[in-house]
């Protein structure tokens, strides 16, 4: 498995398992994203919420989402850049969520943001906005590629304990990045290649059983061909 995706699976298990074993909802832990906690200065929740799940079913769904979306995105951009963008997407999605939550909560109850799904929607938004394909099959129906994330957002609405607002924020952040509005988050391949040689990425490269994806496109192609 790709190194960063496997690491996220382990972090999600470590963050959610204590609450699941105690029978207490993981959303009440010190990791989930709650506006009241952020106002109290607990800024770590801007990142840690993506590793929190409330029950075994949501943890299983989160593991599948991480394996598919995070793994695919990591293979396209490299392990180092994937880790950087995951943190950036998590923070930007959280900030947008907190901004919109104050408005939406006045007319409807808002579910706390938790789990990897907002970041998954961000990576999906990037992939579809930058895809060269014009259309694809979605549940047997050919639709424009740019509409696939929005159809997926409607499907995710029916997943229990899933925050529609946080998923929407993740999708908006991903599409903004994919369209070039977040160019400050991009760094050249030369920087990615240098990051491959420093800690903690140099350590990830040495872990047996994990596939480290290099930051250089030429190296990624050589890895795929081998």
**What average pLDDT does the chain have?**
84
Average pLDDT value for residue range 132-147 = 80
| Structure confidence by residue, pLDDT tens digits, 39-56 | 778 888 899 889 888 778
| Structure confidence by residue, pLDDT tens digits, 142-178 | 888 888 888 888 888 877 777 888 999 999 999 999 9
pTM of the predicted structure, to 2 decimals: 0.88
pLDDT at 43: 87
pLDDT at 121: 92
Average pLDDT value for residue range 4-28 = 75
pLDDT range class, residue 221, cuts 50, 70, 90 = confident
CATH number belonging to the domain at 3-212, selected among 1.10.357.10, 1.10.510.10, 3.20.20.70, 1.20.1540.10: 1.20.1540.10
Q: Considering only 19-23, 207-211, 218-222, which range has the smallest mean pLDDT?
A: 19-23
Task: Check residues 139 and 222 and name the one with the higher pLDDT.
Answer: 222
Average pLDDT value for residue range 204-218 = 86
| Structure confidence by residue, pLDDT tens digits, 69-123 | 888 898 888 899 999 999 999 999 999 998 998 888 777 777 778 889 999 999 9
pLDDT at 162: 79
pLDDT at 27: 43
For every residue of the chain, which 3-state class applies, written as one string?
A: CEHHHHHHHHHHHHHHHHHHHHCCCHHHCCCCECHHHHHCCCCCHHHHHHHCCCCHHHHHHHHHHHHHHHHHHHHHHCHHHHHHHHHHHHHHHHHHHHHHHHHHCCCCCCCCECCCHHHHHHHHHHHHHCCCCCEEEECCEEEEHHHHHHHHHHHHCCCCCCCHHHHHHHHHHHHHHHCCCCHHHCCCHHHHHHHCCCCCHHHHCCCCCCECCCCCHHHHHHHHHC
pLDDT at 26: 44
Q: Look at residue 198 and tell me whether its pLDDT is greater than 80.
A: yes
| Structure confidence by residue, pLDDT tens digits, 54-73 | 778 888 888 888 888 888 89
Q: Look at residue 24 and tell me whether its pLDDT is greater than 70.
A: no
């Amino acid at each position: 498995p790709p190194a960063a995706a496997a690491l996220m699976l382990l972090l999600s298990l470590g963050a959610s398992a204590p609450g699941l074993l105690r029978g207490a909802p993981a959303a009440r832990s010190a990791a989930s994203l709650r506006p009241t906690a952020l106002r109290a200065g607990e800024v770590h929740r801007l990142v840690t919420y993506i590793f929190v799940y409330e029950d075994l079913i949501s943890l299983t769904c989160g593991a599948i989402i991480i394996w598919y979306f995070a793994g695919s995105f990591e293979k396209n951009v490299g392990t180092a850049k994937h880790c950087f963008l995951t943190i950036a997407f998590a923070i930007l999605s959280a900030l947008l969520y907190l901004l919109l939550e104050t408005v939406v909560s006045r007319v409807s109850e808002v579910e706390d943001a938790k789990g990897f799904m907002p970041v998954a929607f961000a990576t999906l938004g990037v992939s579809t906005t930058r895809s060269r394909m014009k259309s694809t099959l979605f549940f047997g129906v050919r639709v424009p590629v740019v509409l696939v994330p929005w159809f997926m957002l409607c499907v995710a609405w029916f997943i229990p304990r899933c925050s529609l607002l946080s998923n929407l924020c993740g999708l908006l952040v991903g599409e903004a990045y994919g369209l070039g509005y977040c160019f400050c988050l991009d760094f050249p391949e030369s920087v990615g290649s240098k990051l491959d040689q420093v800690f903690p990425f140099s350590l990830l490269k040495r872990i047996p059983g994990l596939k480290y994806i290099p930051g250089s496109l030429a190296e990624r192609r050589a890895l795929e061909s081998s």
